[in-house]
Amino acid sequence: MPINILMPALSPTMEKGNLAKWLKKEGDKVRSGDVIAEIETDKATMEVEAVDEGTIAKILVPEGTQDVAVNDVIAVLAGDGEDVKSAGAGAASAPPKAAPAPQAPAAKPASSSSPSAAPTPRPVAPSLAGPAPQPQTSAPRSNGHARTFSSPLARRLAKEAGIDVARISGSGPHGRVIARDVAEARSGKGLKAPAAMPTGAPAIAPAMSDQQVLALFEPGSYEIVPHDGMRRTIAQRLTAAAQTIPHFYLTMDCDVGKLLAAREEINAAAPKDKEKKPLYKLSVNDFVIKAMAIALQRIPNCNVSWTESGMVKHKYSDIGVAVAMPGGLITPIIRRAETKTLATISSQMKDFAGRARARKLKPEEYQGGTTAISNLGMYGIRDFTAVINPPHATILAVGTSEERAVVRHGKIEAAQIMSVTLSCDHRAIDGALGAELIGAFKMLIENPVMMMV
């Protein structure tokens, strides 16, 4: 019996991906573990390995195809001893999408010889490479309405918005309601009935439609550039963050004179390789990462993530650092940054930044984390506020260091000052607690020798 090769889920939140390239063609034999294709997500390009052995009988989704839903059939594999032509002919006449799994009294354990097996993504870590999330149904409703297929994230966002998920029109696979549908429903679009908000809930003004926006401009005076997956994901996540996380902001000015002097001295003393190039060159951002990591350890009640069932208190400081890339940004994570030297942090960030811009980061390298840092100092930005990236409870916005006039002991002096602003999730962190965290950061960044203790 032919084996269906399905579009894999390369991360827990992936719902669609682009089939960038086939590395095998029809008629090629494959073994388990062979790399057969490259899949693009909104953040990275990853290789996909075959699970079963056989011959590729038919490729159903050509390379270059965008927005292929998870679990769609992308190719068919003829098993050993099976006629390749007949398997390919049968695949050509079959619908390209995977059929939903039928309800059965008792599920049978899956085996490697299953007729429909998803390929194994590489290099996702085992904890992230579990089976693709299947559409889930809500319990039958007392009003007799049919069950609604929806993702766990969509159900949570709908609950927080006070919207009945049954009223939302789904755009995911098989009509499944996904997070994007909830975001549209909050703006008044995609609802099956005009009334969606419960009594007492604040009304959300509907967003302007595409037609309303374009009507404001002269025809021919613009061009429309379609959104790619990264831009859509950024818009979706940050819109949800701004609507569901109660932000408050704390700003402090930090005297980084000692830090700049220490950085210059450390870089001058850095060991050199055979070509007499320094093995590392510390940046101000490396000190910021280290200081934030230690500050979270000193104020552990800020090293948290909010969930409805309880507060998640993290043992380690996993610091996400925003990296700009074509079309958007990504936040690779320095794990256990409090335990790493400045040289190690610097080396790891250079590696992450290079691979991020080439979209070669692994999901486990940019998913999770306990806080994040966004540094726009290199663009001359003095100060700004940043939007928290869930599941973080904080994000630190870092401005440029510049010479400013300060008063010391009654005298006006020049000092190198850097403004930083801490955004906090008020559900998890109160004002006084946030003040303790940014105060601990200020003490460390102004006295970098304390990071070595």
Q: Which residues make up the CATH 4.10.320.10 domain(s) of the chain?
A: 136-232
Structure tokens at 80: 């050993």
**Which DSSP category does 295 fall into?**
H
Q: Residues of the chain whose pLDDT is less than 50?
A: 94-117, 122-145, 193-199, 201
Q: How far apart are CA 105 and CA 325, in angstroms?
A: 49
The 3-state DSSP composition of the chain as helix, strand, coil percent (nearest 5) reads 30, 25, 45
Q: How far apart are CA 272 and CA 36, in angstroms?
A: 42
Q: Which residues pair with 48 in a beta bridge?
A: 37, 121
Question: Active-site residue numbers?
Answer: 426
Q: Which residues make up the CATH 3.30.559.10 domain(s) of the chain?
A: 245-452
Structure tokens at 358: 């080439």
- The SS3 of residue 121 is strand
Domain 245-452, CATH: 3.30.559.10
What per-residue confidence (pLDDT) applies to 252?
97
Residue type, 135: P
Is the CATH code 1.10.10.10 the one for domain 136-232?
no
What per-residue confidence (pLDDT) applies to 452?
83
Q: Which residues make up the CATH 2.40.50.100 domain(s) of the chain?
A: 3-95+115-128
- 3-95+115-128: CATH topology is OB fold (Dihydrolipoamide Acetyltransferase, E2P) (2.40.50)
